[in-house]
Amino acid sequence: MKEFSFKINGKDYKCAVEEIEAGKTNVTVNGKVYEVETEKPAAPSKPAAVAAAPKPAAAPAAASAPKPAAPVAGGVQVKSPLPGSVIKVLVSEGQAVKKGDTLLTLESMKMENAIMAESDGTVKQIAVTPGQNVMQDDLLIVLG
């Protein structure tokens, strides 16, 4: 089971996502249990595949994300800090970046989050595309 904490309009929400079985899972939001269905059955090893779905009033099914490419060997992996949807990718493969440069914009809980480079380097791989849904800890970019 994965647990998440969110703040929406100043109100705190605690969310727990159980293992996905046959495309269904139970998501608990502030003590209330929702049964959530995914469009495609997800692998049981990725229980957070519906973490973006829970909302206080209703829990719609989360969209399935394409399988990420295998990470390039070596380099610094930039991973998603929270579940969301990629809005813009601001860099291209082979581009040099400095620590603090914005690599992409991620929307989560109706808020845009700038994902920045944690170190200087060159973009070796971009593992996501605009519009793609990602889960917490999914690979976004590899810097070399």
List, for residues 58-81, the tens digit of each pLDDT value.
444 444 444 445 555 678 899 999
As a whole number, mean pLDDT of residues 5-11 equals 79
Structure tokens at 22: 């046959």
Q: Which pLDDT score is estimated for 34?
A: 83
> Half-sphere exposure of 117 toward its Cβ, with a 13 Å CA cutoff?
23
User: Could you say which DSSP state residue 21 is in?
Assistant: B
Per DSSP, the three-state class of 48 is helix
Q: Is the model's pLDDT at 48 over the cut of 50?
A: no
Distance between start and end Cα atoms, the chain: 33
Domain boundaries, the chain: 2-50, 76-143
Give residue 108's pLDDT: 87
Place of tokens 């791989």: 125
Q: Find, among 138, 139, 103, the residue nearest to 119 by Cα.
A: 103
Q: What is the pLDDT of residue 22?
A: 74
Residue 40 has pLDDT above 70, yes or no: no
pLDDT at 72: 54
pLDDT surpassing 70 at residue 57: no
pTM above 0.95, yes or no: no
Residue 19 near residue 25, CB atoms below 8 Å: yes
Q: Which residues contact 23 (CB under 8 A, 6 or more apart)?
A: 37, 38, 39, 40, 41, 42
Q: Kindly report the CATH number that applies to the domain delimited by 76-143.
A: 2.40.50.100
75-110 tens-digit pLDDT: 889 999 999 999 999 999 999 999 999 999 999 888
What is the 3 state secondary structure string of 118-137? Answer: CCCEEEEEECCCCCCEECCC
State the residue for tokens 């603090």.
Answer: 100
